[in-house]
Amino acid sequence: MDLKKMTKQMIDFQKTTFDNTFNAMTMLQEQAERMANMFLNQTQEIPEEGKKAINEWVKAYKKGREDFRKSTDDSFKKVEDFFADAEKTKTK
């Protein structure tokens, strides 16, 4: 088997694994966020400043997650482009 083809299959497998794991993690985080919001809305003892701080923390966490996803997708795209260029060069 061609080394480039085998490497590309390995990268595809890693991307699929990353996508599935990232989606599962996102679902867990969203569920935790819903539970935290339910708790915050039902609890009167937490001051508004505390609720605001928690909501800001959730926003920062979401932004970090989105930035990480974008960075990882960009990296996978670069690798895919590299193999596509290598395949074009090989066929010429």
Digit-coded pLDDT (tens) for 71-80: 999 999 999 8
Q: Where are the domains of the chain?
A: 67-92
Global pTM exceeds 0.95: no
> What local confidence, expressed as pLDDT, does residue 24 receive?
97
Q: Which pLDDT value is given to residue 59? A: 92
Task: State whether the Cα torsion 72-73-76-78 is positive or negative.
Answer: negative
pLDDT above 70: residue 29: yes
- How far apart CA 37 and CA 15 sit, in angstroms, is 32
